Structure 1
């Protein structure tokens, strides 16, 4: 389709102190391994997480069809 663009998500492995988290977030080229970020929709939005791994971008629709599929 012309003019349509599916939203892309990436899987991040995050660390904050002794806590580990895997999260699917919107693809953003500013987010790379080593960057610290906060998750606005997380239960602790003021907590900073360090990105330790970043997966390849995937179409959001593909992710939602396979929630238990770690890509």
Structure 2
């Protein structure tokens, strides 16, 4: 299974920089980069914090898909 995230889309919709999102959720910018590129699975707390920033649910922001 692969984790797909819509973080980049939501972030760009709001005109937010990766560093700004990182600061809001108490993470490093590199963590946001890895999340957006699908190379990092966030903790539940981080996922919830990011979802809260964009006023969406965790399920709207993240989705597991079957590997083909």
TM bucket (normalised to shorter chain) is under 0.3
Which has a greater percent of helix? 2
Provide TM-score, normalisation by structure 1. Answer: 0.24
Higher relative contact order (CA 8 A, sep 6+): 2
Larger radius of gyration: 1
Higher strand content, 1 or 2:
1
